[in-house]
Amino acid sequence: AQSVTQPDIHITVSEGASLELRCNYSYGATPYLFWYVQSPGQGLQLLLKYFSGDTLVQGIKGFEAEFKRSQSSFNLRKPSVHWSDAAEYFCAVGDSGAGSYQLTFGKGTKLSVIP
Amino acid sequence: GAGVSQSPSNKVTEKGKDVELRCDPISGHTALYWYRQSLGQGLEFLIYFQGNSAPDKSGLPSDRFSAERTGGSVSTLTIQRTQQEDSAVYLCASRTRTSGGVDTQYFGPGTRLTVL
């Protein structure tokens, strides 16, 4: 079965600093990978996704992620964090094996931003 | 256009009561999912609909949980005889079926269920 690990439960960065959120996955075939963001009391918003092709993908709000098959990783990055980026971030892998493409999520990383 | 909507946004119920949670997917989206988000377990898949059929119910935690979808649109998740451990945020998502692809799931704002 597939799984996703987000090693960092909580990260605090200063506004303007760079950010990297880690994600490792376990999946037998080519993974379909996603990053979602959730603000308090809100649903999940898609930041970016990887299906195939270029391993560096660009998303909304200035985020990018790099797929590294050799490391089973899909880390999320942003060069300069804004206070509005404070939220919880979820990495997910889509399961194509059963045909449902259900998502398996990591436990999430909560990002706090110091002004 | 309109996104995925869910109602109610909050539901407080007493242990042992039945509850119904509603999801209105994005128009034209044939696939619909229910997930549960709780403090202890994180985000968990519950059930998947393709049209009105549910080919994958593997995430439903017990037979107290059921779901249906009518007209290829609205879905209702029903929890019978609620227990305190059912307290969670229930999220609905929908996506368009693409040929051979894995399209994006779009999530609703969720229903926060509290069982007293």
| Of the candidates A39, A5, A47, the residue with the CA atom closest to the CA atom of residue A22 | A5
> What is the rounded distance in angstroms from the CA atom of residue B42 to the CA atom of residue B110?
14
Q: What is the DSSP letter of A110?
A: E
Query: Is pLDDT above 90 for A4?
Result: yes
Look at B48 and A100 and tell me if their CB atoms are within 8 Å: yes
Q: How many CB atoms lie within 10 A of CB A68?
A: 11
pLDDT the model gives residue B37 = 95
Residue-level pLDDT at A64 = 97
Mean pLDDT across chain A, nearest whole number?
92
CA dist., res. B40 & res. A111, Å (int): 19
Above 60 in pLDDT, residue B101? Answer: no
Can you give the pLDDT at residue A42? 84
What pLDDT score was predicted for residue A53? 82
> For the residues A25-46, what does the mean pLDDT come to?
88
A46, B110: Cβ pair inside 8 Å? Answer: no
In whole angstroms, what is the distance from residue B87 CA to residue B82 CA?
Answer: 9
3-state secondary structure of A84: helix
- Is B51 in CB contact (< 8 Å) with chain A? no
Contact B108, B23 (CB under 8 A): yes
Does the pLDDT value for residue A29 go beyond 80? no
Distance in angstroms between the alpha carbons of the first and the last residue of chain B: 37
pLDDT of A98 higher than 70: no
Phi, psi of A61 (to 5 degrees): 60, 25
Q: Which two tokens stand for residue A42?
A: 């809100």
- Interval B61-87 mean pLDDT: 96
Q: How far is B48 from chain A (nearest CA, A)?
A: 7
CB-based contact, A101 to chain B, within 8 Å: yes
Asked if A99's CB is within 8 angstroms of B102's CB, the reply is: no
Q: How confident is the model at residue A89 (pLDDT cuts 50, 70, 90)?
A: very high
B30 touches chain A (CB under 8 A): no
Round to whole Å and give the CA distance between B102 and A56: 18
User: What does the alpha-carbon distance between residue A73 and residue A20 come to, in Å, rounded to a whole number?
Assistant: 12
Both tokens of residue B62?
């017990």
Rounded to a whole number, what is the distance in Å from the CA of A81 to chain B's nearest CA? 24
